Structure 1
Amino acid sequence: MTHPLPLRAQAELLDRWLHQRLDSVLPRLMDRADVDTWIVVAREYNEDPVMRALLPGSWLSARRRTILVFHRRPSGVQCLAVAPYPVGTAYEPVWNPQEESQWEALHRTVAARDPRRIGVNVSATFALADGISATEHRLTLEALGEFANRVVPAEAVAIGLLETRLPEEIETAHKLNALAHRVIADAFTPDVVVPGKTTGLDVAWWIQQRFHDLGVPPWFLSTVDIQRWGTELGGVPDDAVIERGDLLHCDVGLTSARLHTDTQQNAYVLTDGQSAPPAGLVEALAVGNRMQDLTVGEFRRGGTGNRILRRARSAAGEAGIEAAVYSHPVGLHGHAAGPTIGLWDNQDSVPGSGDYPVYDDTIYALELCTYSTIPEWSDQRVRMALEQGIVVTGGGVDYLDRRQTELHLIR
Structure 2
Amino acid sequence: MNILPLLITIAGSVFFACTYGQLHPDIPSRYRALPPLREQARILDAWKEERISRIPALLKKYDIDAWLMSMREHAEDPVWWSIKNATQFAAHRRTVLLFHTNTSYLAGRPNPLVWVDNTGQVWDDLRFILMQYQSKRIALNTDKNIAFGGGLHVGEWLELYEQLPYEWMKAVSEPMLAVEYIATRVSGQLGYYRLLQETVWAMIEEAFSERVIKPGATSTVDLEWWFREKIQAQNLSTWVHPRVSVITPESFPGWAGTDDIIREGDLLHVDFGVTAMGMNTDTQHMAYVLRTSEGETDAPNGLIEGIKKANRMQDLVLSQMKPGKTGNAVLQSSLKQMETESITGQIYCHPIGDYAHAPGAVMGKPISVSASLRIMTFLVGFTNLPEYVPVLGELPILPETWYSIELYAYHFVPERKETLRFRLEETVYWVDEQRGWDFVYGRQERLHLINWPPSDVHGSKLLVQS
- The answer to whether TM tops 0.5 is yes
SS in 1 for 2:270: strand
Equivalent of 1:62 in 91, 103, 113: 91
Please give the alpha-carbon distance, in whole angstroms, between the structure 1 residues aligned to 2:431 and 2:172.
30
State how 1:320-331 maps to structure 2 within 5 Å: 320-331=342-353
Distance 1:209 1:262, change over 3 A: same
Matched with 1:407 is: 447
Please give the alpha-carbon distance, in whole angstroms, between the structure 2 residues aligned to 1:29 and 1:345.
33
Matched with 2:12 is: none
Matched with 2:402 is: 363
Please give the alpha-carbon distance, in whole angstroms, between the structure 2 residues aligned to 1:158 and 1:3.
31
Structure 2 residues not aligned, in runs of 5+: 1-7, 9-31, 365-381, 452-466
State how 1:5-404 maps to structure 2 within 5 Å: 5-23=35-53, 25-73=54-102, 78-84=111-117, 101-227=121-247, 232-233=250-251, 238-272=258-292, 273-300=295-322, 302-342=324-364, 343-378=382-417, 380-395=418-433, 396-404=436-444
Task: Report the alpha carbon displacement of residue 383 of structure 1 after superposing the two structures with TM.
Answer: 0.5
SS in 1 for 2:239: coil
SS in 2 for 1:354: helix
Structure 1 residues not aligned, in runs of 5+: 86-96
Please give the alpha-carbon distance, in whole angstroms, between the structure 1 residues aligned to 2:73 and 2:269.
39
Give the ranges of 4+ consecutive aligned residues of structure 1 lying more than 3 Å apart after TM superposition. 74-77, 231-237
CA RMSD of aligned residues (A): 2.0
Q: Deviations over 1:58-77 (max 9, x none)?
A: 10111111111111126798
Distance 1:397 1:28, change over 3 A: farther
Task: Report the alpha carbon displacement of residue 334 of structure 1 after superposing the two structures with TM.
Answer: 1.3
Distance 1:340 1:172, change over 3 A: same
**How many residue pairs get matched?**
394
Q: Deviations over 1:360-392 (max 9, x none)?
A: 2101111000000001112x0110011101113
Task: Report the alpha carbon displacement of residue 19 of structure 1 after superposing the two structures with TM.
Answer: 0.7
Query: If the length of structure 1 is used for normalisation, what is the TM-score?
Result: 0.91
Which amino acid in 2 is paired with 1:32? K
Contact 2:282 2:425 in 1 (8 A): yes
Please give the alpha-carbon distance, in whole angstroms, between the structure 2 residues aligned to 1:322 and 1:289.
13
Contact 2:349 2:405 in 1 (8 A): yes
Which amino acid in 1 is paired with 2:43? L
Query: If the length of structure 2 is used for normalisation, what is the TM-score?
Result: 0.81
Please give the alpha-carbon distance, in whole angstroms, between the structure 2 residues aligned to 1:259 and 1:104.
38
Task: Report the alpha carbon displacement of residue 141 of structure 1 after superposing the two structures with TM.
Answer: 3.0
Please give the alpha-carbon distance, in whole angstroms, between the structure 2 residues aligned to 1:324 and 1:240.
25
Task: Report the alpha carbon displacement of residue 341 of structure 1 after superposing the two structures with TM.
Answer: 1.0
Task: Report the alpha carbon displacement of residue 32 of structure 1 after superposing the two structures with TM.
Answer: 2.1
Task: Report the alpha carbon displacement of residue 346 of structure 1 after superposing the two structures with TM.
Answer: 2.2
Distance 1:213 1:157, change over 3 A: same
Which amino acid in 2 is paired with 1:104? D
Please give the alpha-carbon distance, in whole angstroms, between the structure 1 residues aligned to 2:274 and 2:264.
29
Contact 2:323 2:397 in 1 (8 A): no
Among all aligned residue pairs of Structure 1 and Structure 2, give the percentage whose two residues are the same amino acid.
31
SS in 2 for 1:63: coil
Q: Deviations over 1:101-121 (max 9, x none)?
A: 121122122222211210111
Please give the alpha-carbon distance, in whole angstroms, between the structure 2 residues aligned to 1:159 and 1:120.
14
Distance 1:233 1:15, change over 3 A: closer
Distance 1:237 1:256, change over 3 A: closer
